Amino acid sequence: MKKKDFMLFLMICIIAAAAFAAFRLLIPQENEELVIIVNGDIYGTYSLEEDCKIEINGTNVCEIKNGAVSMTEADCPDQLCVHQREIASAGDTIVCLPNRVVLQISGNSESEGNGIDATAG
């Protein structure tokens, strides 16, 4: 490994650490709730407190159970979303790319306008 290789290695580690710290600060880790996004638009926001099943546009079904969210059914060809692990903490997402469905856990701090703009487009 040459000197420049090592510098590159270090630089990427620093960027990763900085990004990790930034996201930790930007995404509040309290009052977590489930936000469902379809085609880039917010489909609905749900509390993690109560267990329930949510049908999304007739293509996907997700379930809230004991404060964790998982995708239980999907009509997508790859079924990758169904095989994703359940999510429970702010910042985590389950994505169904073919159906363009995103389940994301968003934190909510008391003070308003503190969270990052979650959606774009």
Partner 1 sequence: MKRKTAYLGMMSAAAILLGYIESLLPLSIGVPGVKLGISNLAAVFVLYYYGTKEAALVSAVRILVIGFMFGNLFSILFSLAGAALSLLVMAGVKRIRGFSVFGVSMAGGVSHNVGQLIVAALVVENFYLLYYLPVLLISGLVCGCLIGIASGAVIRRVRPESLNNV
**Candidate list 52, 53, 83, 109; residue touching partner 1; CB under 8 A:** 83
Q: Minimal CA–CA distance to 103: which of 120, 117, 86?
A: 86
User: Among partner 1, Zn ion, none, what binds residue 19 when CB lies within 5 to 8 Å by partner kind?
Assistant: partner 1
Number of residues in contact with partner 1 under rule CB under 8 A: 44
Pairing status of strand 68-74 against strand 93-96? unpaired
Task: Give which of Zn ion, partner 1, none residue 8 binds (C-beta under 5 to 8 Å, depending on kind).
Answer: partner 1
Direct distance between the N- and C-terminal alpha carbons of the chain, in angstroms, rounded to an integer? 42
**CA-only gyration radius of the chain, Å:** 17
Residue span binding partner 1 (CB under 8 A) among the ranges 47-55, 62-70, 73-81: 73-81
Which residues of the chain form contacts with partner 1 (CB under 8 A)?
A: 1-5, 8-9, 12-13, 15-17, 19-20, 23, 27, 37, 39-40, 77-78, 80-81, 83-85, 87, 91-98, 100-102, 104, 116, 118-121
